[in-house]
Structure 1
Amino acid sequence: MKTNLKKIISSIPSIDQLLRDEEGDRLQDKFGRKTVKSSLRLLISEMKQEIQTGELKSVSKGDIYQRLELICESTNPEIKEVLNLTGIVVHTNLGRSLFPEEAVRSAVKVMENFTNLEFDLSSGKRGERERFLIANIKELTGAEDATFVNNNAAAVFLILNTFGMTKEVIISRGELVEIGGHFRIPEIMRKAGAQIVEVGTTNRTHLSDFSAVINVNTGLIMKVYTSNYEIVGFTSSVDEKQLAELAKKNNVPFIVDAGSGNLINTTFAGSTTEDRVEQILARGADLVTFSGDKLLGGPQCGIIAGKSNFINEIRQNPVKRAMRIDKVTVASMFEVLRVYMDEHKKIKQKIPTQRFLNRSPDEIKKVVNHVLRAVSSSFDSVASAELTECKSQVGSGALPVDSLPSYGLKITPLTEKSISIEKLNSMLRGLPHPVIGRITKQCIVLDCRCLESADKLIEQLKLLGQIEL
């Protein structure tokens, strides 16, 4: 028995031999020599243990390379292009907004070339990288000035640190939100050095609650849009104009975290979008923070727009240096904002996020039917597929209770094949071009609102039927 085990173990090729073979070369090209070599050591050790326990009866190069690739992939994940068929347009886990073509070209240009990012060509002296973006944001929002950081959470932190450090920050208890990734407003406040003063209750807050606690140690009054949930029923909140007046009377800034960053008037499926940044500033907010990669449809960044005196104070905060945006963000956001300076029709055509949100159900239905005709029998050994009505969402906290009518493919695993819904979903994710949908009532719905290339989905679904179960 021991002799047989030794024979099986000795049949494992050496690491050097496995690295020299054609398949070894391919894996080294894909993952790097060091990664493949260390993974091979780990794999061979595992295989020897499996042989000793009787779990592994024989060894082949094919099995070794198959297992080796899985180990390398698990320890060195790569960013893959996926098909977002979840029905969530601005999907944080899938990278949020896609860039318009102009922004992509601009981003590539600054990655491949030296530029005048922080160099003033007219004076020959150092320039400010934000100068390319400020004028358009001012025009689009009515702000006196603006500044940019690497995301909206950083924008909120920077404001709190600038005006609220060692001071009190007044906020309604119903706005102490938590969003994805366990990001909590109270914790950010504390990390910024501010003391939280909660007023009102979860569902009702009045102006008198704010005026009762404001004092000489108040640093600012803050309002946070509850963008990822909505409280309905017996509710009351304070009008922003009243809060602005109270803040002005007491010589403290009034800050609004608007989150999603809506810049234009538009409707999605008959529902008006969130307030525009321009409207919030017009109601008296001194500063508004919002994201660049949500409704705005650009790169990840946090934008602070508002009164110039407050923006100047923020620029003087040394912490801002740690949050500044990079050249790719500057270049791509410049082009996104240039699109917004055009007429609304072109914005909805050129900005992918706006294009997806404004897509008509009839258009989406045509795409789904086209896909169904092309793949109707391609994976009938695995699952059935049919047209289904479904609901899309904006995503990333915007308009959380509103939905957009849409259409998708409903894929149901065949019961006689004993394929679980989880197994089928895993098969879709494991395709060369992963297909990400959502599980609904023991079927998988592929909402096609964000599908611009039907051929990509057709190609992947045809591969589904070729997978060995």
Structure 2
Amino acid sequence: MRGTNSPNLLILLLILRYGKEDCQAIFQESLPVKPTLQEVLRQIPSVDTLLSSPEIQSILGEAPRWAQVAAVRQAVNALRQQLVAHPQQAVDILSTLSARIATELASLLQPSLRRVINATGVIIHTNLGRSLLSQAAQSRVAEVAAHYSTLEFDLDAGRRGSRHSHVERLLVELTGAEAAMVVNNNAAATFLMLAALVHGKEVLISRGQLVEIGGSFRMPDVMAASGSIMVEVGTTNKTHLRDYEQALSPETGAILYVHQSNFAIVGFSTMPSPAELVALGHRHQLPVLEDLGCGAFLNFASYGLHPEPTPKASIEAGMDVVAFSGDKLLGGPQAGILVGKAVYIDCIRKHSLARALRVDKFTVAALEATLRHYHDEQEARQEIPTLRLLTLPVDDLWKRAKRIKRRLHLPDHLQLNLIEGESEVGGGTMPLQKLPTVILALSSHQQSANQLEQTLRLERHPPIIGRIQANRVMLDLRTVLPEEDSELVAALNQFNSGS
């Protein structure tokens, strides 16, 4: 057995020489002692110790004290959870904590409501804030935010005034209505209109107009919540004037006409016109109410787009009250606008819920500035971003796209092509309208489209929101503002540095 290297033979010799029990004790003493989980957890410094550490202080910098404490505490808790979940994992505690603290601090100091670059091609993007405000509207909001204002003060009389007065005159001028008021959105406007005028009464509405808007808010639900009693007439695709006439009863309180702003029924269909319903309603001394939805003030047909009904046309047709949005095709802030006959608007204004649904000074300031643009159609088209994006010639987009591509320095694995595409209006408006656009189509043979999209969304400042199609990230220039082109170029060129 001389010269053998067999471990088993050595163990046997040792057992024969010292005995089994003594050998076991020798081997156990020679093995390294692995710390228990509790011992590892005790090695994590306390929050106070970390806060006073020069290395950690260099990471925390001049951040507010509350953010420093929260970042360190969250990092410590996260590390504890990691060690408990993976007790066998070897971890460099200090370096791990340093990295976690830096990440947590950046997250804490980053606002939740953030600016993004909209490259989705959806102009009135509800998830991204809908319509952008004009420069004049932005300035007015900033002014009333920084100073006291005449929100509910009549300067001429020297006493309390009405917040509706700042926009009522403009709305009356632009629509031809007798009176107007504003609440916080169009769903609220429709609800308040029904609650104030037809609570406990029957309201006739076509089955083809029982719309559902964003967030699963359905017209039948709004009507039920208002206390009015919905009476469906006609069918989904065909409703005749006689259907309304046959449904009239002593309990009927109004006729409601709802614009199908977020969908379209085409083909074998018919619907009475607003003027026909007005004539029927007034013949029976009933108010005729309209939920117009998007509320366009511009004749879009003159710009080659699908025509949209306007509040002015509804008032001219004889509608008693018209409700519409302020932040869709109007291009202003979120608001629900009510225009119509003074007797009905006054009744709505006095309803107890009007105060609960009222708008604040920022909405009033932005809406007033937006409405002023409409005194001149060309000024409105140029100054209101939503209108400008809707009517932007595609040739202008091609020029911008080519300039952007010339400024790009992408790594070999990335490919960017300029292709034709179609943008959408969005916001539950013009469902059939497609707008010609230019798309920057980004692809890679090393990364998936999902990975590229995630990088642009999570690792760029500001985040860039695009869409994925055919394993490519599509960046639609129609919704990227010209002043954002340089930021878009910089974000794409970051791929060249490996980030």
- The match for 2:471 among 442, 451, 457 is 442
Task: Tell me what 1:12 maps to.
Answer: 44
Aligned 8 A contact 1:27 1:69 in 2:
no
Q: 2:129 matched to 1:95?
A: yes
- The match for 1:229 among 252, 258, 263 is 263
Task: Tell me what 1:213 maps to.
Answer: 247
Distance 2:95 2:421 in 1: 43
Distance 1:235 1:70 in 2: 58
Residue aligned with 1:387, SS = strand
Q: 2:82 matched to 1:47?
A: yes
Task: Tell me what 2:437 maps to.
Answer: 406
How far is 1:266 from its partner? Answer: 2.9
Per mean C-alpha deviation after superposition, the further-off stretch among 15-24 and 68-77 is: 68-77
Q: 2:173 matched to 1:115?
A: no
- The match for 2:57 among 5, 13, 22 is 22
How far is 1:76 from its partner? Answer: 8.2
Distance 1:308 1:74 in 2: 50
Superposition TM-score, scaled by structure 1 size: 0.92
Task: Tell me what 2:196 maps to.
Answer: 162
Task: Tell me what 1:425 maps to.
Answer: 453
Task: Tell me what 2:338 maps to.
Answer: 304
Aligned 8 A contact 2:76 2:97 in 1:
no
How far is 1:19 from its partner? Answer: 3.6
Alpha-carbon distance change, 344 to 387 in structure 1, aligned in 2, over 3 angstroms? same
Residue aligned with 1:449, SS = helix
Aligned 8 A contact 1:162 1:314 in 2:
yes
Aligned 8 A contact 1:31 1:76 in 2:
no
Q: 2:494 matched to 1:459?
A: no
Task: Tell me what 2:378 maps to.
Answer: 345
How far is 1:261 from its partner? Answer: 1.2
Which letter does structure 1 place at the counterpart of 2:449? I
Task: Tell me what 2:5 maps to.
Answer: none
Distance 1:60 1:15 in 2: 13
Extract unaligned runs of 5+ from structure 2: 1-32
Per mean C-alpha deviation after superposition, the further-off stretch among 314-323 and 449-458 is: 449-458
Q: 2:313 matched to 1:279?
A: yes
Alpha-carbon distance change, 344 to 247 in structure 1, aligned in 2, over 3 angstroms? same
- The match for 1:319 among 331, 346, 353 is 353
Aligned 8 A contact 1:168 1:195 in 2:
yes
Alpha-carbon distance change, 69 to 228 in structure 1, aligned in 2, over 3 angstroms? farther
- In the TM superposition, 1:133-152 aligns within 5 A as 133-152=167-186
Aligned 8 A contact 2:315 2:322 in 1:
yes
Q: 2:416 matched to 1:388?
A: no
Q: 2:67 matched to 1:32?
A: yes
How far is 1:269 from its partner? Answer: 6.3
Distance 1:439 1:16 in 2: 46
Residue aligned with 1:333, SS = helix
Alpha-carbon distance change, 151 to 388 in structure 1, aligned in 2, over 3 angstroms? same
Distance 1:48 1:27 in 2: 30
Aligned 8 A contact 1:410 1:446 in 2:
yes
Alpha-carbon distance change, 61 to 218 in structure 1, aligned in 2, over 3 angstroms? farther
How far is 1:63 from its partner? Answer: 3.5
Percent identical residues: 36
Task: Tell me what 2:8 maps to.
Answer: none
Aligned 8 A contact 2:300 2:308 in 1:
no
Aligned 8 A contact 1:5 1:51 in 2:
no
Which letter does structure 1 place at the counterpart of 2:494? L
Distance 2:403 2:95 in 1: 39
Distance 2:438 2:303 in 1: 14
Aligned 8 A contact 1:43 1:68 in 2:
no
Extract unaligned runs of 5+ from structure 1: none
| 1:126-151 CA distance string (max 9 Å, x none) | 01111111111111111111000001
Task: Tell me what 1:259 maps to.
Answer: 293
- The match for 2:406 among 373, 391, 401 is 373
How far is 1:463 from its partner? Answer: 2.0
Residue aligned with 2:35, SS = helix
Per mean C-alpha deviation after superposition, the further-off stretch among 12-21 and 233-242 is: 12-21
Distance 2:119 2:429 in 1: 18
How far is 1:374 from its partner? Answer: 1.1
Distance 2:411 2:285 in 1: 67
Distance 1:337 1:269 in 2: 20
Superposition TM-score, scaled by structure 2 size: 0.87
How far is 1:168 from its partner? Answer: 1.1
How far is 1:232 from its partner? Answer: 1.0
Distance 2:145 2:390 in 1: 30
Alpha-carbon distance change, 49 to 333 in structure 1, aligned in 2, over 3 angstroms? same
Q: 2:164 matched to 1:130?
A: yes
Aligned 8 A contact 1:268 1:404 in 2:
no
Distance 1:34 1:170 in 2: 60
Task: Tell me what 1:57 maps to.
Answer: 90
Alpha-carbon distance change, 227 to 43 in structure 1, aligned in 2, over 3 angstroms? same
